Amino acid sequence: MKTLFDKIWDEHVIVSKDEKDLLYIDLHLIHEVTSPQAFEGLRLKNRKLRRPDRTFATMDHNTPTIKEHRSNIGDELSVEQLDSLERNCKQYGIELYDMDSEYNGIVHMVGPEMGLSIPGKTIVCGDSHTATHGAMGAIAFGIGTSEVEEVFATQCLWQKRPKTMGIKITGKLSDNVSAKDVILHLIKKYSTSFGTGYALEFYGDTIENMEVEDRLTLCNMAIEAGAKFGIIKPDEKTIDYIKNRKYTPKGADFEKYLEYVNTLFTDSEELYDEIKEVDVTNLKPQVSFGTNPSMTVSIDEKFPEITSEELKKAYDYMDLKPNMTVEDVPIEVVFIGSCTNGRMQDMRIAAEILKGKKVHKNIKCIVVPGSMPVKKQCEAEGLDKIFLDAGCEFRMPGCSYCLAMNEDKIEEKVHCASTSNRNFEGRQGHLSRTHLMSPYMAAKCAVAGRVEIE
């Protein structure tokens, strides 16, 4: 009798010592920001890279979203990090999805798209949103640069087993409500730290009814709840999703692999160290008003009274007040993209709203597909045209706008309706003001010129 998480964990333990386990790592994803020092460490210690064939690289954080050749990136550190990733991948024989690659994209898009992030695997990346991949039914977690070096050298990592928390989500979501609203609601209800020390397993009929892309959105923000891990049991939808992707096992290997995948579920709810239950039947769209994701309201709620210094500081920074509603926020920019909501389904939802409409005159609307495959698919379905006709910008994939890299910054004091995952002070630019929400709400906002209270 084991939880889903413990089944995968136990399958990967090589040896245990002092409450820690040495885990075998099946997949190591890397990007330009957190890998240069780790490669340098290898060289200095004269260590080899153990499994270049299980290491995959993408350029994402420093790549501008404008159509600009690499040689035109202004920021020197960005250029240096991109150059060193390219050099290192060449030297160590690692597959790299560079800016010219048809597979390029944000690392948390690339893993599932390539059939690399698949059920039952252990997946690491020097990036805090690695829990995203747990939605495929895997153990996936963010690691630091020194750990990146350890995995390079040994393909293993010492880890303390986390406790498990079952997050049971039940009820049918309303049409305008999605996984983004569910995770924002959870963080509002239980704080930005309720998951600390836990692996969060999301389950229940709401999760079963969710598409894989929604599940990825949900697990993406586990770290915003303090948890390094989010995980969801693989099912038919997961198997359909991974089938025939580039690195998914094929033929008889796939059939054999499915036998293992079919064992991946939690044997009994009683095995969780803790359970939280949430009924989302009447859940309304959620929008953040403050400077962390827990400072969030339902669209039909007023902003809360000031009950802490932190909240007061957030109101001051955002230039908002208690008792206002999301409708009162003077939004000027709408950003649809990021590893949270830069997938095909997000693009389709936004396009459906923007189709035949015009972006409001006070709004600049930026659409950034999370990866080249998503961009291409948008073009194949004519979504790019819908966005452009509506007056949006339709850009190249990358992280840039989510964390204010390159020219992709929200100006001082400007309110941005954003489908990303972080809204702390300055996240999208010096003194910028981020409001987290779903692609549905963001696209509606682009048309209406403000967040709509339906």
Ligand X SMILES: CC(C)[C@H](C(=O)O)[C@@H](O)C(=O)O
Binds ligand SF4 (CB under 6 A): choice among 4, 283, 339, 414? 339
Q: Helices in 195-308 by DSSP H: which ranges?
A: 205-209, 212-220, 236-242, 251-261
Q: Which helix (DSSP H) or strand (DSSP E) does residue 335 occupy? A: strand 331-336
Q: Which two tokens stand for residue 371?
A: 């990866």
Residue 127 interacts with ligand X (CB under 6 A): yes or no: yes
Q: Residue 62 or 296: which CB sits closer to ligand X?
A: 62
Shortest CB 146 distance to ligand SF4, Å: 20
Shortest CB 149 distance to ligand SF4, Å: 20
Residues 6 or more apart from 211 whose CB is under 8 A from it? 237, 345
CA 236, CA 192: separation in Å to the nearest integer? 32
Contact 227, 193 (CB under 8 A): no
From residue 400, how far is each of 246, 305, 337 by CA, in Å?
Answer: 27, 34, 10
Binds ligand SF4 (CB under 6 A): choice among 4, 38, 73, 106? 106
From residue 102, how far is each of 33, 55, 114 by CA, in Å?
Answer: 21, 18, 11
Buried b (16+ CB within 10 A) or exposed e, 19-38: eebebebbbbbbbbbbbbeb
Shortest CB 184 distance to ligand SF4, Å: 15
Nearest 5°: CA angle at 21, between 17 and 23? 140
Q: Which does 406 bind (CB under 5 to 8 A by kind): ligand X, ligand SF4, none?
A: none
Q: Which two tokens stand for residue 89?
A: 């991948």
Q: Residue 228 or 450: which CB sits closer to ligand X?
A: 228
What is the x/- site pattern for ligand X, positions 4-43, by CB under 6 A? -----------------------------xx---------
Shortest CB 129 distance to ligand SF4, Å: 5
Residue 110 interacts with ligand X (CB under 6 A): yes or no: no
User: Which of 323, 393, 384, 375 lies closest to 355, judged by CA?
Assistant: 384
Q: Residue 104 or 298: which CB sits closer to ligand X?
A: 104
Q: Which two tokens stand for residue 180?
A: 């983004």
Q: Which does 338 bind (CB under 5 to 8 A by kind): ligand SF4, ligand X, none?
A: ligand SF4
Shortest CB 43 distance to ligand SF4, Å: 26
What is the x/- site pattern for ligand X, positions 381-420, by CB under 6 A? ----------------------x-----------------
Q: What is the CA radius of gyration of the chain?
A: 21
Binds ligand SF4 (CB under 6 A): choice among 26, 32, 127, 201? 127
Question: Which stretch, 139-147, 227-235, 289-297, 398-406, contacts ligand SF4 (CB under 6 A)?
Answer: 398-406
Q: Which does 34 bind (CB under 5 to 8 A by kind): ligand SF4, ligand X, none?
A: ligand X
From residue 178, how far is each of 30, 158, 199, 213 by CA, in Å?
Answer: 29, 36, 22, 11
Q: Which two tokens stand for residue 6?
A: 């413990």
What is the contact surface with ligand X in residues (CB under 6 A)?
33-34, 61, 127-129, 142, 403
What is the contact surface with ligand SF4 in residues (CB under 6 A)?
61, 106, 108, 127, 129, 338-339, 399, 402-403, 420-421
